[in-house]
Each structure stands twice: as structure tokens, then as C-alpha cells.
């Protein structure tokens, strides 16, 4: 039976590699704005979503948290396209704020608020056995009330299953943990925590901390700025398929290093950042442990979301 579409597409909001995003409204309640994300055909799997992606999106439909974008519905249009109906987040993303150095001024209290929202969103996903796998400032969208929401779930993975050629050059490597760069086949929630650390560092520096131009360069940068992964600091690492590091071993950076680069965070903040950058994923701090860290309760207190800086 033909069913009238529940959502009406309006103007185009933007276009990414895998999708075109439209502003939309619910037919039943036209005052409710939504974002309709139409997945491009070439990013699809046999004319639809890869089975893994479907499973993941079904889980997401059930996952509701203030810091995770709500997936309200999924539908397919007559041209076989898969459409995701998402809550509408009108204030751009964290990348837009970080890069607008002239227009957007912010400080440690603001970074603490944004990091708190990011960490709670990641914690909630991990509690529910969902790994994001593509955390970066551009995927952290901002709601009308200032709340930061983790967006773009699982899409990286399903497009990797389907599109092959596209993936390696489009998915940004700057947020990728060493275990993935070394080709680990089994990985854990710790992959997301490394990315959270990279976002944390970038919020402070206002530019990416580890900007490798290739996977080899990315590994070299990690060795130089964080420390060289070795059997001593990460038992088993040399057995990973693609393990290769520069010959001159750099000792793992300690507190002083983090204080000199990220001193504006204070001792506790620098300590938290250091723990997100533990090379060995089994020693990396978890989202739950991050939330229990002293930094959140030390001064300055996080800015209330309604007072957070936003783009003009």
C-alpha cells in the first residue's frame, strides 16, 4: 500500500561526500524542523544500505541522549535512495568555531563545556556498545541551545564497505589512533577516545594537533609528538600487521610536555589530555573514567551552554 510520506523536503542545506542534506518538516507537525540526509547512490550498497549500516542505524533510532544526534526515521525514496531523518541542528559544527579565529573568541571554560558534552555523548554510545569511528570537529554539530551533538554515525563504515576507492583519501586521518594506522583488525571503544583527545587538543590550539599528509606521515607525527610505540610501552604492538616506526625512538611525552603545549588547561586538563593519548589502547582512559576526572570540577567551571560563543 502506498503511504504518504511523513516528511516534506524543503531547501538544500549542504552537501558532503556521501550525502545531500535538506531542511525538512514533519507533515504531522510542520513546526518541527528536521534534516533529511539523502545518501548518494554511489555511496550505497547494491542500491541500499549495507546490512551492517542498517543494523547500526536501527540501534541509533533507539539511542537517545542530549549529546547524540537523534535519528528520527529512515525511509527510501522512489529513486532507491536511502534517506535519514535527523534532528535539525542549525548552529554549524565545532570545526566552524575552531577555525574562525578572528570571529569566535573562546577560553578554557568554553572548551570544558564542549568537551563535557562530547565526552558524555561518547560515553553514552560506548555504554550502548556503539562505536562512532569518525569523531572529528566537523561531525560535532551544534543545536539551537548550544548543545554539542555527535553526528554522522556509522556512515564512514558503511561507505567503506561499499565504495572502496573513496574511503582512504576522504576519511581524515588526523583523528585516527595508532592501532588503526598499524592495521589492527580488532579494536575497541578506545579508538574513539583517541579522536576525542585529538579534538580536545585542537580546541586548545585552534588547529589540528597531528596533521599528517599520509598514513606514514601520521605515524611519524604520533611518534614525534606523543612518543614511539614500542614493546615496552605497548606489549604486542610490533606484531600488528602494518607496524613500522621511524628508527630514532622518541620516549613517550610526560606531563611537562602537555603542560608546555596545553598549559592553558591547567595541570588537571593537561593530565586528562595526556591520558586520552595513551598509545596502548588498553591503557587509554575510557569515556567513563574521563567523566570521573578531576578536571571537570577544577576551576574554571564549564560555561553554561546558553552562554557559549557561537558564530556571528
Q: Respond yes or no: is residue 134 known to be catalytic.
A: yes
Nearer to ligand ADP among residue 125 and residue 245 (C-beta): 125
Max CA pair span of the chain:
67
As measured in angstroms, the least distance from the Cβ of 43 to ligand ADP is 10
Cα distance between residue 195 and residue 206, in whole Å: 15
Task: Assign 3-class secondary structure to 30-51.
Answer: EEEEEEEEEECHHHCECCECCH
* 84-92, 230-238, 261-269, 275-283 -> range binding ligand ADP (CB under 6 A): 84-92
Member of 44, 119, 138, 228 binding ligand ADP (CB under 6 A)? 138
As measured in angstroms, the least distance from the Cβ of 195 to ligand ADP is 15
* 45-53, 83-91, 179-187, 238-246 -> range binding ligand ADP (CB under 6 A): 83-91
> What DSSP state is assigned to residue 238?
G
149 is in an annotated binding site: no
Nearer to ligand ADP among residue 33 and residue 221 (C-beta): 33
Is 16 one of the binding residues for ligand ADP (CB under 6 A)?
yes
Look up residue 200 and give its three cell numbers: 580536545
As measured in angstroms, the least distance from the Cβ of 295 to ligand ADP is 29
Asked if residues 33 and 42 have their Cβ atoms less than 8 Å apart, the reply is no
Cβ-based neighbour number of residue 309 at 10 Å: 16
Query: In the range 201-260, which residues lie near ligand ADP by CB under 6 A?
Result: none
Member of 89, 117, 189, 190 binding ligand ADP (CB under 6 A)? 89
Torsion of CA 297, 300, 301, 303, to 10 degrees: -150
Cβ-based neighbour number of residue 239 at 10 Å: 10
Radius of gyration of the chain (CA): 20
- Annotated binding residues for ATP, written as ranges, equal 38
Binding-site ranges for ligand ADP (CB under 6 A): 13-17, 19, 21, 35, 69, 86, 88-90, 138, 141, 152
List residues with catalytic annotation.
134
Amino acid at each position: 500500500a502506498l503511504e504518504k510520506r511523513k516528511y516534506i523536503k524543503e531547501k538544500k542545506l549542504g552537501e558532503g561526500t556521501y550525502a545531500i542534506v535538506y531542511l525538512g518538516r514533519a507533515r504531522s507537525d510542520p513546526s518541527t524542523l528536521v534534516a533529511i540526509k539523502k545518501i548518494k547512490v554511489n555511496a550505497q550498497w547494491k542500491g541500499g544500505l549495507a546490512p551492517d549500516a542498517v543494523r547500526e542505524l536501527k540501534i541509533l533510532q533507539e539511542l537517545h541522549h542530549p549529546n547524540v544526534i537523534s535519528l528520527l526515521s529512515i525511509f527510501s525514496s522512489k529513486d532507491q535512495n536511502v534517506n535519514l531523518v535527523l534532528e535539525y541542528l542549525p548552529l554549524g559544527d565545532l570545526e566552524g568555531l575552531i577555525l574562525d579565529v578572528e570571529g569566535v573568541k573562546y577560553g578554557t571554560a568554553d572548551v570544558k563545556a564542549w568537551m563535557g558534552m562530547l565526552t558524555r555523548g561518547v560515553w553514552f554510545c560506548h555504554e550502548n556498545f556503539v562505536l562512532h569511528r569518525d569523531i572529528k570537529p566537523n561531525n560535532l554539530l551544534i543545536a539551537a541551545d548550544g548543545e554539542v551533538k555527535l553526528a554522522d554515525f556509522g556512515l564512514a563504515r558503511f561507505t567503506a564497505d561499499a565504495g572502496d576507492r573513496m574511503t582512504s583519501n576522504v576519511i581524515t586521518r588526523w583523528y585516527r589512533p595508532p592501532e588503526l594506522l598499524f592495521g589492527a583488525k580488532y579494536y575497541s571503544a578506545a579508538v574513539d577516545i583517541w579522536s576525542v583527545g585529538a579534538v580536545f587538543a585542537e580546541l586548545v590550539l585552534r588547529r589540528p594537533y597531528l596533521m599528517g599528509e599520509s598514513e606514514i606521515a601520521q605515524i611519524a607525527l604520533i611518534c614525534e609528538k606523543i612518543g614511539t610505540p614500542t614493546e615496552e610501552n605497548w606489549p604486542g604492538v610490533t606484531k600488528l600487521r602494518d607496524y613500522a616506526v621511524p628508527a630514532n625512538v622518541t620516549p613517550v611525552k610526560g606531563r611537562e610536555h602537555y603542560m608546555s603545549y596545553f598549559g592553558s588547561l591547567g595541570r588537571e586538563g593537561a593530565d586528562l589530555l595526556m591520558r586520552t593519548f595513551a598509545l596502548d589502547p588498553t591503557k587509554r582512559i575510557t569515556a567513563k573514567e574521563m567523566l570521573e576526572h578531576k578536571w571537570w570540577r577544577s576551576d574554571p567551571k564549564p560555561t553554561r551552554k546558553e552562554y557559549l560563543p557561537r558564530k556571528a
